[in-house]
Chains A and B, each alone.
Chain A
């Protein structure tokens, strides 16, 4: 690492601040909308709880929390796209 904490803040604080506000606005938008949410919202909330953890590797743990951790190949691909969060077993 080439920078001090002060330098990291100087370089990246404004961008990080903007992203936190974007996240907050997204959650407000979800609240204002009607109907049920799906598993992705719960997955995102779980991922966000990692952010305030005191240990490191937060990016890694966010990605792990948003990953399919099963090990067997699926019988067939019925879609091409990924959705960003692991589909709960009961729904899959």
Chain B
């Protein structure tokens, strides 16, 4: 089996996870910029974090033969401070030409506040000016429906943004249809308690098809499962789905989306 992990916060994971992922067939991992669990105190903290994402983590992944890509932003959870967000966004162009940067993400909303919306718009403008792919975080739990609608409105209202170059992550049963219907990619996140289970994600595939949709683990510093995607693949096979079906969802789809960035190199090994 081969797969691509489109959303893993590897800076918060140990080397055992890299070994396990590669053993299960992971060919590439893509890491969006995230909230570290605490608020960084200045833009300097983000500068160091972006260095970690673009310089250190690819080297760490390479020790296991794994290609590592990243996305840059200030996460929605830290977007209430617009001044700080603006300083961080001003830093991003310094890193955008790094060979492993795929685009801007994971931008989006958290509590659906006015400042978060403003910062989201600033990121979208940055992505448009630099012709970057976009990876979007939709809010958790009760905030997801409202946040997804607000985010899609921001993206649709910017004529420079092409929906097929945006992935709206963490979709669930009540948001997936609006995302796909409007031409965006949809990410289903297999994360304990707060997001999808493998069974529900496969239900979504069976209801909506496999076009423009992927699975990810979003493994991070919380209780999460770096092997969620290969485990979901096993679940798909248990249900009788073909190897081709599984390969399309966990390898070809993420590869197809990421290949819209000239920096993404199609993995060659199995």
Residues of A within 8 A of B (CB): 1-3, 7, 11-12, 57, 59-60, 63-64, 66-71, 73-87
Q: Which residues of A contact B116 (CB under 8 A)?
A: 73, 77
Asked if B106 CB lies within 8 Å of chain A CBs, one says no
| Chain B contact residues: helix, strand, loop or mixed | helix
Contact of A82 with B141 in the complex, beta carbons under 8 Å: yes
Q: In chain B, what residue has the closest Cβ to A67?
A: B145
Which range contains the number of B residues in contact with the other chain? Answer: 20 to 34
Q: Let me know if B80 is at the binding interface, CB within 8 A.
A: yes
Chain B residue contacts of A77, Cβ below 8 A: 80, 110-111, 113, 115-116
Assuming A11-B239, A60-B173, is B141 touching A83 (CB within 8 A)? yes
Quick check: B110 and A67 within 8 Å, CB to CB? no
Q: Fill in one digit per residue for B125-163: 1 if any A CB lies within 8 Å of its CB, else 0.
A: 000000000000001111111100110000000000000
The CA-CA distance from A69 to B146 in the complex, in Å, is 6
Residues of B within 8 Å of A63, CB to CB, are 144-145, 172-174
Contacts of A66 in B (CB 8 A): 141-142
Bound together, the chains give a CA A3 to CA B80 distance in angstroms of 47
Q: In this complex, which of A68, A79, A83 has the most chain B Cβ atoms within 10 angstroms of its Cβ?
A: A68
Given A2-B239, A74-B113, 18 other A-B residues pairs in contact with their CB atoms under 8 A: A59-B172, A64-B145, A64-B174, A66-B142, A67-B142, A68-B112, A68-B143, A70-B146, A71-B149, A73-B117, A74-B111, A74-B112, A75-B114, A76-B114, A77-B116, A79-B111, A82-B140, A86-B142
